[in-house]
């Protein structure tokens, strides 16, 4: 194979992979930008029917999320929440630092720090 052809093939393959990575990053950013981060001032009482964990972010119902860096104490890892049976209840009182997940037979909590 000619050297120019080989260089052309490498450049085309790298361009395709770069384009795919950029498109995926844009879609992931768009997914998280349309949500609100749970803060200490929030009050919640929702039934969660969809969860997603990605890179330290845990999303509930595509509308709110928490970040692992803002969790100081918990009795379950963020990624392990994706293994819970859906739906479950998510509760938090205003000015409380504790987020509570209630399933049919278990209770989990996250203590938030901000």
| 38-57 confidence digits (pLDDT tens) | 877 788 899 999 999 988 88
* 27 and 64 assigned to the same domain: no
Say whether pLDDT at 27 is over 80. no
Whether 26 and 13 map to the same domain: the answer is yes
Same domain, 28 and 53: no
**Confidence band for 100, pLDDT divided at 50, 70 and 90:** very high
- Same domain as 51, residue 105: yes
Per-residue model confidence as pLDDT tens digits over 61-93: 989 999 888 898 999 999 999 999 999 999 999
Q: Please give the Cα distance from 70 to 113 (Å, whole number).
A: 5
Expressed as residue numbers, the domain containing 83 is 37-112
**C-alpha distances out from residue 101 to 1, 21, 47, 93, Å:** 61, 34, 10, 13
For residue 105, the Cα-to-chain-centroid distance in whole angstroms is: 24
Do 60 and 100 fall within a single domain? yes
30 and 48 share one domain: no
- Name the 3-class secondary structure at 80: helix
Q: Clarify whether residues 46 and 101 are in a common domain.
A: yes
Q: How many helices (H) and strands (E) does the chain have?
A: 1, 9
In this structure, the answer to whether residues 42 and 92 fall within a common structural domain is yes
Residue 24 — pLDDT band, cuts 50, 70, 90?
confident
Q: Quick one: 20 and 52 in the same domain?
A: no
Q: Within this chain, do residues 84 and 48 fall inside the same structural domain, yes or no?
A: yes
The DSSP 8-state label assigned to residue 94 in this structure reads T
Higher pLDDT, 40 or 20: 20
Element (H, E) at 17: helix 3-33
> Does residue 19 sit in the same domain as residue 70?
no
When pLDDT is cut at 50, 70 and 90, the band that residue 33 belongs to is confident
Same domain, 30 and 42: no
Domain count, the chain: 2
């Amino acid at each position: 194979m000619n050297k120019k052809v080989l260089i052309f093939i490498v450049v085309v393959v790298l361009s395709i992979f770069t384009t795919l990575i950029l498109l995926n990053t844009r879609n992931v950013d768009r997914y998280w930008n349309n949500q609100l981060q749970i803060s200490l001032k929030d009050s919640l009482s929702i039934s969660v029917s969809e969860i997603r964990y990605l890179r330290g972010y845990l999303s509930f119902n595509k509308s709110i999320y928490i970040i692992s860096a803002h969790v100081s104490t918990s009795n379950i890892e963020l990624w392990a929440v994706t293994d819970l049976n859906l739906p479950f209840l998510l509760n938090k009182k205003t000015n409380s630092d504790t987020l509570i997940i209630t399933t049919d037979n278990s209770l989990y909590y996250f203590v938030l720090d901000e």
